Amino acid sequence: MFSKHLTAAALAASVAAMPASRAAADAGDFVAGALIGGIVGHAVTKNNQKKKQRVYRPGIPSTHEGRQIQSSLNYFGFNAGRVDGQLGRQSRSAIASYQAYMGYPATGQLSAFEQDLLITSYNRAQAGGYQTTQLIASNPEGTRGLLKTYRAEMAGQAVPQQQQPPVVAVAPQPAPVTTVVTPAPAPVAPAPAPVTAVAAVPTTEAATTALPNFFEGGAPEASLASHCNTVSLLTSTNGYTTVASMTDPTAALNEQFCLARTYAIARSEELISQVNGLTPQQVAAQCDGFGPVVQPYVAGLSQKSRDALNEEVSSFVASIGTTPQQLAGTAKICLGVGYRTDNMNVALGSGLILYALGETVYGELMGHHLALGFGTQKNAKMAGPWYEAGLAATDAGADAVFVPGQPERADILRKASMEVTGTPAQAGVLPVFSVTE
């Protein structure tokens, strides 16, 4: 947890001074004023002094997110007790039961994917009405079975069809046969056969042009969120790749990329919770407007060398005219928002800004995007220098921003990235600039 406090005054001034309409007209002013200039502020001495004078009573904070989790657990039969938003002992026990049922480690602490699956499934079941009732009735595991059904659908797996109740056909009783004697009819001249108009069969060319073309705009961009859901399902079954067990370096990079994405989203949500004066939806809207501003730099990721692109982004950062602390905090917020909303322009643009500010450990993200082809053209060769920069920062002692509890993570990334990109990831080749938050 961070000890900073965010100032409402800076937020209110920046947001009020730059409405959304002007953002579209003047991108430069938008970045400096509405987004970068105040979403995240640095610590204020007066606020810190007030914090020391406050008396905190022990207890578990009640949150809207906590109420969502408890309501979802109770619905699926994992007793979380009273829905008060406080995730205490009983809620943790219910979470562990849910995790065990789904085949996840029963830690009592929800991962981002586990929480999303739980709450999304609850909302979907509530909105399903009679269809949900039918699904529950046809599932041998009852209401809980919805969780596995929805998870299979998220992973693109085939869902077994519902078993329909057997239909019992009753053969009709034969009607009694009655013999009726009628006189023979008089011969009638046959009527001429009616003329039937035959519709013209369309030619092959006409039939072809009448069909809609659903792929006219090219293949849809791959969804990182959907991809990471699938990766999470695989790792929950098979476990994470280690250096010793690595046989598929691309699979290892997928796992580490999705872990980094989860940690970026969690960090973003932590910072958003400290922002005064803006709702999470308003913050997300500000970050969405940030995407077009940084899109030219994102477009250059697969075309320009790491150093050349970083020079351009550094010039852009210098022109914004805000403190590095504010800019870094905002970039961390928008990084998580971009990943959560599957907006790769926002995510990659934020990562490039953090790298330009000297937090080169974020170079790992650009390496992932290039190596795996999300948000940019796949280019394994150009991914190598970005991986190299991130690993160099880690080797030089930079704080681990992704999965700090995994001691061999740097070794996994080094081995996997070297095999995928063909570039040895050397240590200590770049200076590391420490930015105080």
Residue 22 lies in a domain: no
Residue 5 lies in a domain: no
Answer whether residue 30 shows pLDDT above 60.
no
Give the pair of three-digit tokens for residue 303. Answer: 């075309």
Question: For 363, left (φ over 0), alpha (ψ -120 to 50), or beta?
Answer: alpha
pTM over cut 0.75: no
Same domain, 273 and 388: yes
Same domain, 268 and 150: no
CB contact set of 356 (below 8 Å; sequence gap of 6+): 310, 313, 314, 316, 317
Task: Give the model confidence (pLDDT) of 267-312 as tens digits.
Answer: 898 888 888 888 888 888 889 887 888 899 999 999 999 999 999 9
Give the pair of three-digit tokens for residue 375. Answer: 């948000």
Question: Tokens 């992973």 belong to which residue?
Answer: 155
CB contact set of 132 (below 8 Å; sequence gap of 6+): 125, 126, 146
Same domain, 147 and 281: no
Indicate the number of domains in the chain.
2
Residue 378 lies in a domain: yes
Task: Give the model confidence (pLDDT) of 123-153 as tens digits.
Answer: 888 887 777 887 888 888 889 999 998 888 7
Same domain, 288 and 401: yes
Last residue of a domain, one of 154, 182, 204: 154
**For all residues of the chain together, what is the average pLDDT?**
75
Q: Give per-residue burial for 79-114: e unless 16+ CB within 10 Å, then b.
A: ebeebebbbeeebebbbbbbbebbebeeebebbbbb
Q: In Å, how far are 124, 155, 170 from 175, measured between CA atoms?
A: 52, 56, 15
Last residue of a domain, one of 129, 154, 179: 154
The Cα–Cα gap between 386 and 389 comes to: 5
| SS3 (DSSP) at 4 | coil
Strand ranges for 336-434 from DSSP E = none
CB contact set of 335 (below 8 Å; sequence gap of 6+): 264, 267, 268, 346, 347, 350, 351, 354
pLDDT of the residue at 62: 79
- Over its C-alpha atoms, the chain yields an Rg (Å, rounded) of 30
Q: In Å, how far are 58, 67, 77 from 61, measured between CA atoms?
A: 9, 11, 24
Same domain, 281 and 385: yes
pLDDT of the residue at 12: 33
The Cα–Cα gap between 22 and 30 comes to: 7
Residue 99 lies in a domain: yes
| SS3 (DSSP) at 95 | helix
Structural domain including 296 reads: 249-421
Same domain, 275 and 145: no
Residue 408 lies in a domain: yes
Residue 171 lies in a domain: no
For residue 224, count other CB atoms closer than 10 A to its CB: 22
The Cα–Cα gap between 164 and 237 comes to: 31
Same domain, 279 and 392: yes
pLDDT of the residue at 240: 86
Last residue of a domain, one of 154, 179, 214: 154
The Cα–Cα gap between 305 and 312 comes to: 11
Same domain, 261 and 138: no
Is 69 within 8 Å of 98 (Cβ atoms)? no
Same domain, 260 and 391: yes
Is 413 within 8 Å of 373 (Cβ atoms)? no
Residue 26 lies in a domain: no
The Cα–Cα gap between 256 and 33 comes to: 35
- The listed range with the strongest mean pLDDT (5-19, 300-314, 315-329) is 300-314
Report the pLDDT averaged over residues 354-358. 95
